[in-house]
Structure 1
Amino acid sequence: MAKAGTVKRRATARMRRPPVGASPGTLIADPAARRSELRLTLISPQKFMTIDNASIDDVAANCEKWPIIWLDCTGLANISLIEEIGRIFSLHPLALEDVVNTGQRPKVDFFEDHAFVVVRMIDDVTAHRYEQIAVFFGKGFVVTFQEREGDPFDPVRKRIESSAPNRLRARGADYLAYALIDAIVDSYFPPIETAGDLVDSIEDEMMNTPHKHQMRQLHELRRDANVLKGVLWPMRDALATLIRNDVPYVKAETKVFLNDTLDHSLRLIELVETQRDMLTGLIEMHLSLSQARTNDVISYLTIVSVIFMPLTFLVGVWGMNFSPDASPWNMPELRSYYGYPAALVFMLLVAIGLISFFRWKKWL
């Protein structure tokens, strides 16, 4: 809990940059980066092999022996290891610089013999934390770089490990790269659908009784929708660029599957846009309901005050200290035998008359 008098600020991710004037392609590790670990998956149509905690020697020794190799590097702390991976696969140094400087906009860059794809993945739904995943692929290889452990690639790994014939082992590296990108895009559906269910529940709750905490929830959800919009739009553009460009290491049949992933990204954008519009409308409705509720309270208080105003006037008049003995005009009704109950009945009739008038005017 933040102490009184302090302001709690939301942490924002900042993209690390090399020093001003540094040579292009300079790699500088983030001090908070995780330790680098390699996982090597070797794939052929008939078999596969996975090497956990692989070394760079394992990578170099198997490059020419298998039709497809997938090297997954988790953690970006070891700059020399990343540079060695770039040397083995002839990865462009500017692309490697973008790998280390996380926070890049989703994009696609094409080089002579390989493509470089940057996508963003929801790393922690509850903390609203995103992670950059960089994907290199060319003829016979796919290299992925992740900031930390945890990814949506388990379904892809299971398909590779399946004994049944499948496209991931029979097709080339471009199809494997498509499968990984498609898994990342599809991983957005569960949190977005969960957020949609939460929006619906807040809407139903608001229709019964609006509360202050609902406004806070709505603002948080709209902020998350804005962040998602900023991630999904460039991801859609990157996928469209990957489909449009004619490079030899992206086959035409793979582009058909990439087009399906592009459709998924468009569907996600539509969902986020719809939720954002709904949230904007719910925030306005919450303000309107709160204002209407306040107006109702003020109206009831006003009516109660108006009812008691004449009663207070009568009590004030009859409560004045005049003596009937001094003059016949000094409140002669004070000597009335039934004066007290008569006064009460009269004040009751005044109150009933005012209430009847308000109901006739439909103010109650």
Structure 2
Amino acid sequence: MAKAETIKKRAPVTARRPPVGASPGTLIADPAARRSELRLTLMSPDKFETIENASIDDVNAHCHAWPVIWLDCTGLANIPLIEEIGRIFSLHPLALEDVVNTGQRPKVDFFEDHAFVVVRMIDDVTAHRYEQIAVFFGRNFVVTFQEREGDPFDPVRKRIESSMPNRLRARDADYLAYALIDAIVDSYFPPIETAGELVDSIEDQMLRAADKHQMRRLHELRRDANVLKGVLWPMRDALATLIRNDVSYVKPETKIFLNDTLDHSLRLIELVETQRDMLTGLIEMHVSLSQARTSDVISYLTIVSVIFIPLTFLAGVWGMNFDPETSPWNMPELKAQYGYPAALVFMAVVALGLVAFFRWKKWL
């Protein structure tokens, strides 16, 4: 996590859109998109094979030779490659358009022989960068599209590579799609829990001493929580839609596992909502503590001023240049032998008397 005094700058998010009036399904690559690379994973109950830096020829050669295949495309710059993938797996052109136009709201669309799922994952916690992941799956295939390198799928890959019995290789493509979506949802837990620990730490610091850096950090954390809420709520709706479907390529037993993922998303939403409430309360508490501290300072300054007002008055009266020889009414104390120490003692008595009065009134 960045230090509290560091202000994090967010890169502006701009969605790449086709030109106005373009035909539906028109694919236009973002100029900043990464180079496209393919990773092909082939699975059967008793074996698996992974082809790094796969080509379209590899996909064509194996797409019908294995019970389940997983094609992972990293980078969205190569539009002809994406169109060819869509042709091989008969992916709907409108869904492919949503793949390259990143920034989509999490959702699920059902087509005749495949489903299209859009989810978002936290790509960089410190930079507050989210990445769109598009998941297509049908009876025997799963195709994922990522914006850039780095994903939470390593546990799924390790499960595919593990020895028998292997539930992931023994089941159909819908179960693999569930495992990938579940990995994305679960990847939200570590950063959200880390943010919760940071909130607790700031609360402890505030109870010891509040400062302006804490307020800035609290506002940043609440802004992050609002962004998370905007991502998790539509993701929850998408998972619920995926569970309620009646398409043949999503089996009832897979829906049971998807329901568990839905529970995880609800738990994440509860955590974020709790953090938002805590952050709102801490911000209000910080304002109250700051106001109380300011009130204390003003109170002390007022008390000091009240103590010195009569002393200043006495010093002003005794400091007037009257001649006691002109008249007995002209400051006879000026000729007193112990006039100066007597004046100081009297002023000290007045000050101590005011302090005692303030303590008796419990103003000090």
Tell me the TM-score normalized by structure 1.
0.97
Aligned position for 1:340: 340
1:94 aligns with 2:88: no
**1:5 is matched with which residue?**
none
SS of residue in 1 equivalent to 2:263: helix
Residue number in structure 2 paired with 1:359: 359
Alignment correspondent of 2:54: 54
Match of 1:212 in 2: 212
- Distance of 1:202 and 1:188 partners within structure 2: 21
RMSD: 0.9
Match of 1:3 in 2: none
1:110 alignment partner AA: F
Task: Show the 5 A alignment for 1:159-178.
Answer: 159-178=159-178
Letter in 1 for 2:65: K
Q: Spell out, residue by residue over 1:158-199, the C-alpha distance to the aligned partner (whole angstroms, 9 max, x if none).
A: 000011312110000000000000000000000000000000
Structure 2, gaps ≥5 residues long: 1-7
Is 1:142 the equivalent of 2:138?
no
The alpha-carbon deviation at position 212 of structure 1 amounts to 0.2
- The DSSP-based 3-state class of the residue aligned with 1:20 is coil
Q: How many pairs were matched up? A: 357
Q: Deviations over 1:285-313 (max 9, x none)?
A: 11011001000000000000000000011
Cα distance, 1:10 vs. partner? 4.1
Alignment of 1:323-334 (within 5 A): 323-334=323-334
Distance 2:329 2:193 in 1: 81
Q: Which runs of 5+ in 1 are unaligned?
A: 1-7
Identity over aligned pairs, percent: 87
Shift of 1:9: 7.1
Q: Greater CA deviation, 328-337 or 183-192?
A: 328-337
Q: Which moved more, 1:13-22 or 1:297-306?
A: 13-22
Distance 1:28 1:91 in 2: 17
Shift of 1:11: 2.9
Spell out, residue by residue over 1:73-121, the C-alpha distance to the aligned partner (whole angstroms, 9 max, x if none): 0000000000000000000000000000000000000000000000000
Residue 300 of structure 1 aligns with an amino acid whose one-letter code is: Y
Deviations 1:264-304 (A, max 9, x none): 00000000001001111110111011001000000000000
* Displacement of 1:14: 2.0
Question: Equivalents in 2 of 1:344, 1:170: separation in Å?
Answer: 98
- Distance in 2 between the 1:36 and 1:330 partners? 101
Instruction: Show the counterpart of 1:287.
Output: 287
CA distance, structure 2, for counterparts of residue 291 and residue 243 of structure 1: 51
In 2, Cα distance between equivalents of 1:276 and 1:16: 31
- Residue by residue over 1:43-99, the C-alpha shift from the partner in whole angstroms, topping out at 9 and shown as x without a partner, is 111010100000010000001111010000000000000000000000000000000
Give runs of aligned pairs for residues 288-303 of structure 1, distance below 5 A. 288-303=288-303
Preserved CA contact (<8 Å) 2:108 2:115: yes
Q: For residue 79 of structure 1, what is the aligned residue in structure 2?
A: 79
Report the equivalent of 1:225. Answer: 225
Please state if 1:242 is matched with 2:264. Answer: no
* Structure 2 partner of 1:203: 203
Structure 1 counterpart of 2:340, one-letter code = Y
Residue in structure 1 matched with residue 120 of structure 2 by the alignment:
120
Which residue identity is paired with 2:264? H
Aligned residue number for residue 44 of structure 1 = 44
* Cross-structure match for 2:189: 189
Which TM-score applies when normalising by structure 2?
0.97
SS of equivalent to 1:41: strand
Match of 2:309 in 1: 309
Residue 297 of structure 2 is aligned to residue 278 of structure 1: no
**Distance in 2 (alpha carbons) for counterparts of 1:153 and 1:51:** 16
